[in-house]
Amino acid sequence: MTAVAPPRLLPQAGRASRHLLRAGVCVALALLAAAPQAQTHDAAIAAARAGRYDEAIAALKALDGPQAEPRVRDDLAVVLAWAGRDAEAVALFDALPVGRAAPLYVRLEMARALRRLGRLDQAAALAEDGLQREPTEAAWPALLSRVLAEQGRHAEARRVIDTRLAVAPQDVEARLASAEAYRRAADRFAAIRELQRALDIEPGRADAQADLRALWQTLGAVTPATAAMPGAVPLALRADAAAQALRRAIEIEPPDPARRFDAVDAVLAQQQTLIEETLAANPPQPAVLRQLQRDRVVALHQRERWQDAVATATTLRARAAICRASSAWYRW
């Protein structure tokens, strides 16, 4: 039998197969090398979210390099900002390749860092761009409003945050940003009202309590802020604080007549909260309840809610609980 020579194409096919095999091995090795890096990256982010910033920063810096994925440097900038190292974070962000837009979550953190560094024009530009790109993201209008208010652009700040509150009135961050805009525009009574609304939504919000206390300080009254701190101060002391807040609301005339009721509205909200807590108190505190109800009559009268004031006073008189207002500066 005569041997048949193999076709000429087989050796070529063999070489192609060898090339494909080598390429497959290279891809497999690259994937094996990338797997530990991905695990290290995820571990670094987990450490950062747990507050272990130094550990996270060291891990991300070890991963960074010419061949690193873009997200490594993005997340390193974010974690640096979380750690309070704003100048380093912004420097890294500024060094990103020209023409590459960082993800929006990175731009949000960089806008916050720029604001803390006082680079307000850049912070405003980033926030405006972010709001245009993500109009439904709650963080953008709150941040942009704060930056604009800090720049003295009060009308623009109000327009941005009022637009957000029109669609999300229960957004606590927006309420706090609104309070900041009012405060920087020297409208302290409106700021108090917004802070109280924020506390109505989230009663334990510490930054809102601190801001409220600071505002009362500027008005010469520190203790009324304690009325916004459920559980932190005995009910009797908080009732006294609410009474002082009412006194300040009556004595201080706001510059804008259209906002003459803002302060007393804030007091009425505080009184309502305190009355509800006192009714549920165990053991009962009838003296505190009487004081709050008497002062509420005064507040309703000051608010020009005449029918409510008369109805409340009539009910209290029927219970022999009122013959005069509880505060020495107001008598029936």
Q: Could you tell me which residue, 255 or 290, shows the higher pLDDT?
A: 290
pLDDT tens-digit map of 128-156:
999 999 999 999 999 999 999 999 999 99
Position 327 scores a pLDDT of: 41
For the record, the structure tokens of 61 come out as: 């810096």
Q: Are 209 and 228 in contact (CB under 8 A)?
A: yes
- Give CA torsion, residues 247, 201, 192, 208, to 10 deg: 110
State mean pLDDT over 93-106: 80
Give the span between the Cα atoms of 272 and 165, in whole angstroms: 24
294: nearest Cα among 318, 321, 269: 321
Q: Is 161 exposed, middle or buried (0-12, 13-18, 19+ CB in 10 A)?
A: buried
Which of the residue ranges 70-79, 198-207, 222-231 would you say has the lowest mean pLDDT?
222-231
Q: Please, which residues have CB within 8 angstroms of residue 182's CB and are 6 or more apart in sequence? A: 188, 190, 191, 194
Which of the residue ranges 9-13, 34-38, 49-53, 151-155 would you say has the lowest mean pLDDT?
9-13
For the record, the structure tokens of 168 come out as: 């999300």
Give the span between the Cα atoms of 188 and 268, in whole angstroms: 17
300: nearest Cα among 312, 310, 289, 309: 309
For the record, the structure tokens of 110 come out as: 């960089």
| Rg of the Cα atoms in the chain | 31
Q: Could you tell me which residue, 214 or 332, shows the higher pLDDT?
A: 214
Which of the residue ranges 3-17, 63-77, 127-141, 172-186 would you say has the lowest mean pLDDT?
3-17
For the record, the structure tokens of 121 come out as: 């024009």
Residue entry with tokens 């009714």:
279
Give Cα separations from 64 to 45, 55, 57, 191 (angstroms): 14, 14, 10, 45
Q: Could you tell me which residue, 103 or 12, shows the higher pLDDT?
A: 103
Residue entry with tokens 């390749």:
97
Give the span between the Cα atoms of 130 and 137, in whole angstroms: 9
Q: Are 140 and 108 in contact (CB under 8 A)?
A: yes
pLDDT tens-digit map of 108-120:
999 999 999 999 9
Q: Are 162 and 177 in contact (CB under 8 A)?
A: no
Give Cα separations from 120 to 116, 155, 186, 306 (angstroms): 9, 17, 20, 48
Q: Is the pLDDT of residue 225 over 50?
A: no
Instruction: Count the neighbouring beta carbons within 10 Å of the beta carbon of residue 75.
Output: 23
pTM of the predicted model, to two decimals? 0.59
Q: Is the pLDDT of residue 234 over 90?
A: no
Q: Are 113 and 85 in contact (CB under 8 A)?
A: no
Position 176 scores a pLDDT of: 97
